[in-house]
């Protein structure tokens, strides 16, 4: 990874001619199709099973982080301050541990080369923003911690390869290790006690399956009642079904879905994805007391996609046209091929009424985003075909009674891994800090 030269000196209000090292990065969301749930080591963030995810296009869904190291300004050694979406936040134990590990790597580097700047113990200012709902089932912690590790690597000039940054990001959030790569990414659980073989790897690049897309149906943008960390621990302690999943189900599914991805076999990919989502939430229900992440909107989405696949298979000869999956939250992620996006979006619209279709301007843009391009049928023939399809689907699934069941629809594709947006002289315009060190 090549990072532009960092700016080595500029005015700072806390210290005359303070030297500032800074980097700004972005990192993508990843949505798993083989779910990770449960840890065998909380301290090292080692999972009870392997997992596999798709990295989504960070031009649509991203965390952006600026890390600033002020060398000469007043501050305690190893101090750090964090702002998330503009609000000052206390550093969690995991973030503190991640920063300590990366500072230690800088200490080692400085010990080997007396000529490089002494950055290891200097205060860090960290600002991070997400352009999607935080803690609502869209893996914000994964993209956020991946972005933090990537930006710290640049700001401290560690020059680590992506695989090493991935292993460090895991210390902050397990699934963050997958957001260090684009495309299709596996996280192998490993078996060594020190976690050295619990690593993420790219199964296929973002260009491997170019027409793979995702529609995210946001059923709630509020924080979930049961955080993932607490839910996982309770599941590990109480669910017999989890043990069956770990030992008898996931290993075969991992092999099967990697094979499906390699062959671009959507039918196999879709069935494995939906089965694994179903089992993940069954494990949550098997937890005692049970954990409920899906809501009534989620259940209706599952019914709609199930019926649509059955009806559609009669005309297109494919077993599945859409695959649904749900992380630890009520929001549905629909994986499908680009040629099917328009029809599926319009079907979803017909089943989940909203308040914005009669509106215009910003309300429509906020609700649909890029998916707005698929709203209008290409011809009267297509429109009539879809009406016939909808009539068939409606025989098995009732339309959602309430307006506003979905809060937002996000269309995106498969994307690349983290990016350095700017560092030093090149980072002025993208930095999340003002010259004075205040979050913008």
Cα–Cα distance for residue pair 138/222, rounded to 1 Å: 11
Decide if 31 contacts 327 (C-beta within 8 A): yes
Show the tokens assigned to 57.
């296009």
Whole-prediction pTM value? 0.92
pLDDT at 119 over 90: yes
3-class SS at 264? coil
- pLDDT the model gives residue 122: 93
Cα end-to-end span (Å), the chain: 27
Could you write out the DSSP letters of every residue in 108-127? HHHHH-TTS---TTS-EEEE
For 263-292, letters b (16+ CB in 10 Å) and e give eeebebbbbbbbebbebbbebbebbeeebe
- 267: region left, alpha or beta (phi > 0 left; psi from -120 to 50 alpha): alpha
Cα–Cα distance for residue pair 80/84, rounded to 1 Å: 13
DSSP character at residue 201: E
- pLDDT the model gives residue 29: 95
More confident residue, 166 or 16: 166
pLDDT at 75 over 70: no
Confidence of residue 426 (pLDDT cuts 50, 70, 90): low
What residues form DSSP beta bridges with 27? 63
Beta-carbon contacts of residue 213 (< 8 Å; ≥ 6 apart): 335, 336, 337, 338, 341, 411, 412, 413, 414
- pLDDT the model gives residue 25: 97
- pLDDT the model gives residue 135: 40
Counting Cα atoms < 13 Å in the Cβ hemisphere of 16 gives 0
pLDDT at 11 over 50: no
Counting Cα atoms < 13 Å in the Cβ hemisphere of 281 gives 23
More confident residue, 219 or 133: 219
Counting Cα atoms < 13 Å in the Cβ hemisphere of 372 gives 15
Cα–Cα distance for residue pair 175/280, rounded to 1 Å: 15
Backbone angles phi, psi at 53, to 5 degrees: -135, 165
Say which range, 142-146, 319-323, 355-359, has the weakest mean pLDDT: 355-359
- pLDDT the model gives residue 73: 64
Show the tokens assigned to 421.
């947006």
Decide if 151 contacts 427 (C-beta within 8 A): no
Say which range, 15-29, 183-197, 320-334, has the weakest mean pLDDT: 15-29
What residues form DSSP beta bridges with 326? 332
pLDDT at 349 over 80: yes
Say which range, 1-10, 372-381, 383-392, has the weakest mean pLDDT: 1-10
- pLDDT the model gives residue 390: 94
Show the tokens assigned to 376.
């209008």
Q: Which of 343, 327, 417 is nearest to 376 (CA)?
A: 343
Cα–Cα distance for residue pair 122/79, rounded to 1 Å: 7
Query: 124-130 and 80-84: which strand pairing?
Result: parallel
Q: Is 144 exposed, middle or buried (0-12, 13-18, 19+ CB in 10 A)?
A: buried
Beta-carbon contacts of residue 216 (< 8 Å; ≥ 6 apart): 138, 331, 332, 333, 334, 408, 409, 410, 411, 412
Could you write out the DSSP letters of every residue in 4-18? PPPP----BTTBTT-
- pLDDT the model gives residue 15: 36
- pLDDT the model gives residue 19: 72
Cβ atoms within 10 Å, residue 255: 11
- pLDDT the model gives residue 2: 36
pLDDT, tens digit (0-9, with 9 covering 90-100), for 218-239: 997 676 777 888 899 999 999 9
pLDDT at 12 over 70: no
- pLDDT the model gives residue 1: 34
Decide if 320 contacts 275 (C-beta within 8 A): no
Beta-carbon contacts of residue 50 (< 8 Å; ≥ 6 apart): 34, 36, 186, 187, 188, 189, 250, 251, 254
pLDDT at 431 over 70: yes
The predicted model gives 84-102 an average pLDDT of: 94
pLDDT at 5 over 80: no
The predicted model gives 113-117 an average pLDDT of: 94
The predicted model gives 316-339 an average pLDDT of: 96
- pLDDT the model gives residue 228: 84
- pLDDT the model gives residue 16: 38
């Amino acid at each position: 990874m090549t990072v532009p030269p960092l700016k080595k000196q500029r005015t700072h209000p806390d210290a005359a001619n303070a030297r500032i090292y800074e980097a700004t990065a972005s990192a993508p969301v990843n949505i798993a199709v083989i779910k990770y749930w449960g840890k065998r080591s909380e301290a090292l963030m080692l999972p009870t099973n392997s997992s596999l995810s798709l990295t989504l296009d960070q031009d649509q869904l991203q965390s952006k982080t600026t890390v600033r190291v002020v060398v000469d300004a007043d501050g305690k050694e190893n101090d750090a301050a964090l702002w998330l979406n503009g609000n000052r936040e206390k550093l969690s134990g995991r973030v503190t541990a991640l920063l300590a590990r990366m500072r230690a790597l800088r200490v080692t580097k400085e010990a080997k080369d007396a000529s490089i700047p002494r950055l290891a113990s200097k205060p860090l200012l960290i600002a991070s923003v997400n352009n999607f709902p935080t803690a609502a089932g869209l893996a914000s912690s994964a993209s956020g911690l991946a972005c933090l590790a990537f930006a710290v690597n640049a700001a401290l000039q560690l020059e680590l390869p992506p695989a090493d940054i991935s292993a460090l990001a895991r210390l902050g959030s397990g699934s963050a290790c997958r957001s260090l790569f684009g495309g299709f990414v596996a996280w192998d659980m490993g078996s060594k006690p020190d976690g050295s073989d619990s690593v993420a790897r790219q199964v296929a690049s973002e260009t491997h399956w170019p027409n793979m897309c995702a529609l995210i149906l946001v059923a709630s943008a509020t924080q979930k009642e049961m955080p993932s960390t607490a839910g996982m621990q309770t599941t590990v302690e109480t669910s017999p079904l989890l043990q069956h999943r770990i030992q008898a189900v996931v290993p075969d599914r991992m092999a099967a879905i990697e094979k499906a991805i390699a062959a671009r076999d959507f039918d196999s990919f879709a069935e494995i994805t939906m089965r694994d989502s179903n089992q993940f939430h069954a494990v949550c229900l098997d937890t005692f007391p049970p954990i409920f992440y899906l809501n009534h909107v989620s259940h209706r989405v599952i019914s709609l996609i199930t019926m649509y696949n059955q009806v559609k298979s009669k005309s297109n000869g494919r077993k599945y046209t859409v695959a649904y999956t749900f992380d630890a939250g009520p929001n549905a992620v629909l994986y499908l091929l680009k040629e099917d996006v328009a029809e599926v979006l319009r079907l979803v619209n017909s089943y989940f009424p909203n308040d914005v279709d009669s509106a215009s301007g910003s309300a429509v843009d906020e609700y649909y985003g890029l998916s707005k391009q698929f709203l209008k049928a290409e011809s009267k023939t297509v429109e009539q075909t879809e009406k016939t399809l909808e009539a068939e689907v409606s025989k098995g699934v009732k339309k959602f009674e309430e307006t506003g069941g979905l809060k937002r629809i996000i269309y995106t594709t498969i994307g690349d891994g983290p990016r350095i947006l700017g560092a030093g002289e090149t980072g002025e315009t993208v930095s999340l800090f003002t010259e004075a060190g205040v979050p913008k």
